[in-house]
Structure formats: C-alpha cells, structure tokens
Structure 1
C-alpha cells in the first residue's frame, strides 16, 4: 500500500509553534492534525519524537520536492 506522512513546524499569528501532520494513502483523501505549543523548542521535541516513531514503522525521510 502506497502511503505518505508529512511533518512540519509552522508558526501561528500569535507566535505559537504548531506541529502539522498530514497522512493518508497516495491518491486518496488523508487526514490532518495540528498540535500547538508555546515554544518552538517544545514543538521541535514533539516533531522529532513523531519522526523517530514513523522511521521505526518503515517510513523513509525525503527532502521536500524530491518526489
């Protein structure tokens, strides 16, 4: 099954850091979740934890625009 999982750290208009996740099967409508944090450091820790978990499950990191 061809699937994708995307992670990003963004900033809100109020200066909060947000970890944004997109996932699904290629060619189908997927899901989205946003986790808001007070500091960018907290968001980065959460981001790295999620990335580590996905790598253990077999996802392979690629650079943006590589596909």
Structure 2
C-alpha cells in the first residue's frame, strides 16, 4: 500500500466522506504515513505519523484501512 483512497456515503444522513493514506520516505531514513480525511469535494485534514521502517508504516496503514472498512468506507480504484 503506497496510496489508498476510500469513501463513505450515507444519503440518509447527508454523509459523504473520504479518507486517503500515503506511505512515503523521509529525509533521515525514516518513513511516514500521511493521512487525509474530510468531506468529499472539500479540502481535508492532514496528519503525519513517523516510523522507523517502511514495513511499520504499511502495517499501521493496513490496520487503519481495516478499521475504516468496518465503518463502511470502500476503496476507490485510482483513475489512470
């Protein structure tokens, strides 16, 4: 997982949210998991978490992805 984009829609509650994650290398042999979330069509909130290895960042991202899927988020494939 280097990039993941997910959305959750509930028309009844007027809920249209997105969540995306990136795993990227840092400058000092570290790795970050960059998370952005918010309402679809609006700028989101961005947070970074730092990890010593790429594998740790990917594991953290996969755990978050699993939690979001349980809440109703669905992965949206990248458009090429």
For normalisation by structure 1, the TM-score amounts to 0.87
Q: Is 1:31 matched up with 2:51? A: no
Query: What secondary structure, in the 3-state scheme, does the structure 1 residue paired with 2:74 have?
Result: coil
> Paired residue for 2:30?
16
Q: Give how far 1:65 is off.
A: 2.6
Q: Which aligned pairs between 1:1-67 and structure 2 lie closer than 5 A? A: 1-65=15-79
Taking the aligned partners of 1:59 and 1:17, their CA distance within structure 2 comes to: 25
The answer for unaligned runs of 5 or more in structure 1 is none
Structure 1 residue 24: deviation in Å?
0.2
Count of aligned pairs: 66
Greater relative contact order: 1 or 2 (C-alpha under 8 angstroms, separation 6 or more)? 2
SS at match of 2:65: helix
More strand by share: 2
